[in-house]
């Protein structure tokens, strides 16, 4: 159990910390886990539905006016106070206001340019204007009903808040004081009307041509941090941030309602959505949830009614140009029995425990991308199967995949409940990872963000890192490594350089190297040093952290813990601590030190082998015959001894115990261990054969090690590497000189 030893001794060397000292760290209060290890088999087979407690219901109507890129909306939202204290204010996300001008927090952070280099067009801004907002307490069990005249008008007292950065120009968060208290368990109906002006697409939501990506389009309530049994508010695990709303003595209600940031936009409560979308009848519409009704109007308009429970957002798309392809995921046809048996074995379940549900898949695809339809659909089916078997069945009856036009690339690669946007750039040859990669990734968000509603603002790695990690699993199992294809002018050089293939894990490592120790994996999304550090840490180093956990805990333990965490926190808002708790529960190990070093603080692992030498010592006769041997005895009767020496260096700031395998000329091997805490450790060995190499043992090869090249050393120099590099450089510079000859 070297892996377990390694894990248990992970500690920060500078602090001289040990696992036992780490174990004294006081943890924040948390819910009592509703599922226990003793009943592990049970929890691993549940759907997670028992977790659900409806907080919200939205009943909205939306009218798209294409000429002005405007959505006129109205409706009623019912919010139930699930906390333990009365609430006297509501906090709202008004995220389209991020595009009002160039002074919003989103614009400042993104510098007006996000999502594949598309720039904000100030001539086509976006906004959401709330034109009426009226509240009344729910009396009994009456159904929510739009009523803008009889309630209390909330607009006169509304204010715009900037809890994260104090930016007065930011209007993405609105606070509306209530003229009454909403007691615990009591509900309030808020009727509203609003006008959402869509910006020209440059970041996620907006329009281009006849394509409308309608996301973050309605006033959406924030999340009330409900109190646990002790009365303390539940908070996420991230470092202290200037969260929204007052928080005093743990009894004041606190709204978790962040401003719209360049790096994050999702955190809201689960609820029931029913939305009637009216568009010109020549538009295709895709939306969250199942379509339950279609009403055609005499004026050339048509209304599509969509409904979905247990989701935390609602987005839709309207496009006049796209094709609609209906397909499905049929478990009886699409689930591989061998895979199911394997997953069941790893999870300690029976294959019957892993039943999946049918899913209707709608693909809205651009005509020129028609050839990629099967690739989209196959990727979606592979993802539904993989995620369903490992983490639990996809519970929704629909999945809509949107392939936008070239000019809408800023809206592609996005996730919304039961609706994802893909994206493919012509020509995408087989073996190149699009549209497969983006489809699987965005579907993965249905699990890590959709079903498990972690806070993307405060702990973005819980959705992006988990999704990146899971996506890699699906892609590796379904497709193997994709070709890494350089492009010239957008034209891929495949097949000439198609031999250059990168596994997903290799991709993690390469990408994580861009910022190996700039920021921690766990950090509020808007506080990363820059976009590069955010991407490197939240997506790729986070995925490496999960790979490392899988390595040290073992495949089966890790898989069970992931499933437990997922099912336990479906339809709820877990934190990093909750994830750690699930891992510890299943593995029976304390992971405080691991999380402190690899998740909560910047740092990297790097152990190196250096100064390897092996020298023949002065010979001596064999012990058994030494008395009778003379000094002139033949060399065959003498035993050669070799002194081997090398240094193990810790060059990273994350310490762990390491094992080094030393190989000898006679084929024998010897293992050396070191606690890994000090900066270096010299090893000397005496053996009957010369050493040939010393390398980190397989069990010590951390996925977080940033330098594999120094993980082992040989006694003999390998000339071919330098010679190969030298001749390659020679050739490249000769080509360079030839090209210069064209100009000069």
Min. distance of Cβ 721 from another protein in angstroms? 4
User: Per CB under 8 A, does 208 bind another protein?
Assistant: yes
CA-closest candidate to residue 581, choices 266, 256, 237: 237
Site for another protein in 414-433 (CB under 8 A): 425-426
Peptide bond into 128 cis (omega under 30): no
Considering the complex, what minimum distance in angstroms separates the CB of residue 118 from another protein?
A: 6
Task: Mark the segment that binds another protein (CB under 8 A) among 17-25, 143-151, 158-166, 405-413.
Answer: 405-413
CA distance 213 to 564: 35
Residue 32 binding another protein, by CB under 8 A: no
3-state secondary structure of 585: helix
Considering only residues 514 through 533, tell me which ones interact with another protein, judged by CB under 8 A: 514, 516
Of 345 and 613, the one with the shorter C-beta distance to another protein is 613
Is it true that the peptide bond before 101 is cis, omega within 30 degrees of 0?
no
In Å, how far are 190, 216, 267, 391, 569 from 261, measured between CA atoms?
26, 13, 12, 30, 25
Phi, psi of 607, deg, nearest 5: -110, 140
Count of C-beta atoms within a 10 Å radius of residue 250: 15
Rounded least distance, CB 81 to another protein, Å: 46
Look-up of token digits 């590069």: 532
> How far from 735 is each of 488, 595, 722, 730, 739, CA to CA, in Å?
17, 49, 20, 9, 6
- Tell me: does residue 667 bind another protein (CB under 8 A): no
User: What residue has token string 């097949």?
Assistant: 495
The span of 13-21, 467-475, 594-602, 703-711 binding another protein (CB under 8 A) equals 703-711
Q: Using the structure block, give the residue that is written with the tokens 């936008």.
A: 404
Residue pointed to by tokens 């739009």: 146
Binding part of the chain for another protein, among 267-275, 469-477, 546-554, 723-731 by CB under 8 A, reads 723-731
Query: To the nearest whole angstrom, how small is the minimum distance from the Cβ of residue 648 to another protein?
Result: 14
* Residues 449-488 contacting another protein, CB under 8 A: 484
Cβ proximity to another protein, 23 vs 736, nearer residue: 736
- ∠ Cα 367 371 373 (to 5°): 85
Q: Does 156 bind another protein (CB under 8 A)?
A: no
Nearer to another protein by C-beta: 292 or 729?
Answer: 729
In angstroms, give the least distance from the CB of 602 to another protein.
15
Which of 20, 53, 430, 496 binds another protein (CB under 8 A)? It is 496
67 binds another protein (CB under 8 A): no
Cβ 304 to another protein, closest distance in Å?
23
CA dist 244 and 160 (Å) reads: 12
**371 is a contact residue toward another protein (CB under 8 A):** no
For the bound state, the minimum distance from the C-beta of residue 734 to another protein, rounded and expressed in Å, comes to 5
Token pair of 205, please?
């939501």
Question: Minimum Å distance from CB 490 to another protein?
Answer: 6
Q: Which residues pair with 712 in a beta bridge?
A: 695
Report the alpha-carbon distance of residue 529 to residue 86 in Å, rounded. 39
Copy the structure tokens of residue 3: 């892996």
Residues forming a β-bridge with 610 = 647
Q: Which stretch binds another protein (CB under 8 A): 125-133, 235-243, 523-531, 728-736?
A: 728-736
Query: What residues numbered 303-362 form the site for another protein, per CB under 8 A?
Result: 321
According to the binding rule CB under 8 A, does residue 739 interact with another protein? yes
State yes or no: residue 123 binds another protein (CB under 8 A). no
User: Which residue, 241 or 408, is less far from another protein as judged by CB?
Assistant: 408
For position 405 contacting another protein by CB under 8 A, the verdict is: yes
**Using CB under 8 A, which of 1, 38, 139, 744 touches another protein?**
744
Min separation Cβ 710 and another protein, Å: 7
**Which segment (135-143, 287-295, 400-408, 560-568) binds another protein by CB under 8 A?**
400-408
* Near another protein by CB under 8 A: residue from 166, 430, 622, 722: 722
Q: How many residues bind another protein (CB under 8 A)?
A: 73
Q: Which is nearer to another protein, 273 or 376 (CB)?
A: 376
Complete DSSP assignment for 435-482: THHHHHHHHHHHHBTTTB---TTT-TIIIIIHHHHHHHHHHHHHT-SE
Task: Single out the residue of 16, 500, 530, 625 in contact with another protein (rule: CB under 8 A).
Answer: 500
List 230, 490, 624, 635, residue binding another protein (CB under 8 A): 490
- Closest contact distance (angstroms) between CB of 367 and another protein is 8
Q: How far is the CB of 613 from another protein (least distance, A)?
A: 11
Retrieve residue 198's tokens.
Answer: 């869509």
Q: What is the DSSP string of 169-187?
A: T--SEEEEEEEEEE-TT-E
Beta-strand pair 87-93/290-296: unpaired
CA distance 486 to 496: 10
What DSSP string describes 284-346? EEEESSEEEEEEE-TTSEEEEEEEEEEES---EEEESS-EEEEEEE-HHHHS-HHHHHHHHHH
CB 669 within 8 A of CB 660: no
Taking alpha carbons only, the member of 653, 656, 452, 591 closest to residue 2 is 656
H or E element at residue 738: helix 719-743
Q: Which of 211, 218, 390, 565 binds another protein (CB under 8 A)?
A: 211
In whole angstroms, what is the distance from residue 72 CA to residue 263 CA?
28
Give the residue with the Cβ less far from another protein, 688 or 727. 727
Query: Which CB sits closer to another protein, 322 or 525?
Result: 322
Listed in sequence order, the residues at least 6 apart from 365 whose beta carbon sits closer than 8 Å to its beta carbon are 322, 323, 325, 372, 373, 376, 401, 403
Burial of 420 (0-12, 13-18, 19+ CB in 10 A): buried
**Which is it for strands 359-365 and 398-402: parallel, antiparallel or unpaired?**
parallel
Pick from 1, 38, 623, 737: which binds another protein (CB under 8 A)? 737
- The pair of structure tokens assigned to 247 is 């928080």
Among 368, 374, 666, 698, binds another protein (CB under 8 A): 368
Q: Does 291 bind another protein (CB under 8 A)?
A: no
Burial code (b: 16+ CB inside 10 Å, e: under 16) for 1-17 equals: ebeebbbbbbbbbeeeb
Binding mask 603-642 for another protein (x = CB under 8 A): ---x-----x------------------------------
By CB under 8 A, is residue 115 in contact with another protein?
no
Residue 645 lies near another protein (rule: CB under 8 A): no
Tokens representing residue 666 in the block: 């006679």
Q: Which is nearer to another protein, 241 or 424 (CB)?
A: 424
Return the residue of 140, 156, 667, 741 that touches another protein, per CB under 8 A: 741
CB of 327 to another protein, least distance (A): 23
Asked if residues 261 and 109 have their Cβ atoms less than 8 Å apart, the reply is yes
Among 24, 26, 632, 719, binds another protein (CB under 8 A): 719
- Which of 426/678 has CB closer to another protein? 426
* Closest separation in Å from C-beta 209 to another protein: 4
Contact with another protein (CB under 8 A) among 506, 555, 666, 698: 506
Nearer to another protein, 147 or 611 (CB): 611
């Amino acid at each position: 159990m070297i892996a377990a030893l390694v894990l248990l001794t992970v500690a920060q060397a500078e602090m001289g910390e040990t696992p036992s000292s780490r174990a004294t760290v006081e943890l924040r209060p948390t819910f009592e886990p509703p599922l226990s290890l003793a009943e592990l088999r049970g929890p691993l087979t549940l759907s997670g539905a028992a977790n659900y407690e409806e907080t919200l219901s939205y009943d909205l109507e939306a009218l798209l006016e294409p000429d002005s890129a405007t959505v006129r909306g109205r409706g009623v939202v019912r919010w139930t106070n699930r906390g333990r204290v009365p609430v006297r204010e509501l906090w709202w996300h008004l995220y389209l206001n991020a595009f009002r001008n160039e002074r919003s927090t989103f614009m400042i952070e993104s510098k007006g340019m996000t999502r594949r280099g598309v720039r904000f067009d100030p001539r086509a801004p976006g906004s959401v204007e709330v034109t009426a907002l009226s509240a009344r307490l729910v009396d009994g069990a009456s159904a929510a009903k739009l009523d803008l005249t009889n309630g209390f008008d909330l607009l006169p007292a509304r204010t715009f808040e900037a809890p994260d950065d104090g930016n007065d120009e930011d209007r993405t968060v609105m606070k509306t004081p209530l003229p009454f208290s909403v007691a615990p368990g009591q509900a309030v109906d808020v009727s509203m009307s609003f006008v959402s002006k869509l910006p020209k697409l440059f970041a996620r939501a907006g329009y281009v041509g006849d394509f409308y990506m309608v996301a973050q389009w309605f006033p959406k309530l924030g999340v009330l941090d409900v109190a646990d049994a002790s009365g303390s508010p539940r908070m996420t695990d991230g470092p202290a941030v200037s969260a929204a709303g007052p928080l005093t003595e743990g009894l004041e209600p606190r709204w978790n309602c962040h401003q719209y940031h360049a790096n994050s936009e999702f955190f809201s409560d689960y609820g029931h959505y029913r939305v009637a979308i009216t568009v010109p009848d020549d538009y295709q519409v895709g939306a969250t949830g199942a379509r339950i009704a279609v009403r055609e109007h005499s004026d050339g308009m048509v209304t599509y009614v969509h409904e979905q429970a247990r989701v935390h957002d609602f987005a839709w798309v309207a496009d006049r140009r796209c094709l609609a392809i209906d397909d499905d995921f049929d478990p009886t046809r699409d689930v591989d029995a061998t895979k199911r048996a394997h997953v069941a074995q790893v999870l300690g379940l029976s294959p019957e425990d892993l039943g999946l549900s049918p899913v209707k898949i709608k693909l809205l695809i651009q005509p020129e991308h028609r050839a990629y339809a099967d690739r989209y659909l196959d990727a979606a089916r592979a993802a539904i199967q993989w995620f369903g078997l490992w983490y639990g069945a996809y519970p929704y009856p629909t999945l809509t995949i949107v392939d936008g036009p070239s000019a809408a690339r800023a809206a592609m690669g996005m996730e919304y409940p039961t609706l994802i946007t893909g994206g493919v750039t012509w020509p995408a040859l087989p073996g190149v990872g699009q549209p497969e990669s983006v489809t699987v990734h965005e579907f993965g968000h249905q699990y890590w963000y959709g079903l498990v509603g972690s806070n993307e603002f405060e702990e973005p790695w819980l959705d992006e890192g988990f999704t990146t990690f899971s996506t890699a699993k699906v892609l590796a199992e379904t497709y193997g490594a994709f070709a890494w294809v350089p492009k010239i002018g957008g034209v891929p050089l495949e097949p000439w350089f198609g031999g250059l293939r990168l596994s997903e894990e290799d991709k993690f490592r390469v990408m994580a190297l861009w910022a190996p120790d700039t920021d921690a994996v766990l950090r509020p999304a808007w506080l990363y040093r820059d976009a590069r550090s955010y991407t490197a840490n939240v997506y790729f180093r986070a995925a490496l952290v999960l790979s490392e956990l899988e390595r040290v805990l073992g495949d089966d333990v890790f898989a069970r813990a992931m499933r437990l965490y997922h099912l336990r926190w479906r339809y709820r808002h877990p934190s990093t601590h909750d994830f750690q708790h699930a891992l510890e529960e299943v593995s029976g190990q304390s992971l405080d030190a691991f999380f402190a070093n690899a998740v909560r603080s910047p740092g990297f692992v790097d152990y190196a082998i250096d100064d390897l030498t092996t020298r023949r010592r002065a010979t001596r006769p064999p012990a058994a015959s030494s008395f009778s041997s003379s000094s002139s005895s033949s060399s065959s009767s003498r035993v050669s001894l070799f002194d081997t020496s090398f240094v193990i260096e810790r060059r990273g700031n994350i310490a762990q115990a390491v094992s080094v395998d030393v190989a000898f000329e006679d084929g024998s091997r010897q293992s050396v261990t070191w606690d890994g805490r000090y900066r270096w450790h010299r090893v000397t060995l005496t053996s009957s054969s010369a050493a040939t190499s010393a390398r980190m043992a397989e069990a010590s090869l951390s996925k977080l090690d940033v330098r594999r090249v120094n993980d082992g050393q040989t006694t003999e120099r390998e000339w071919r590497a330098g010679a190969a590099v030298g001749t390659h450089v020679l050739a490249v510079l000769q080509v360079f000189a030839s090209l210069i000859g064209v100009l000069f």
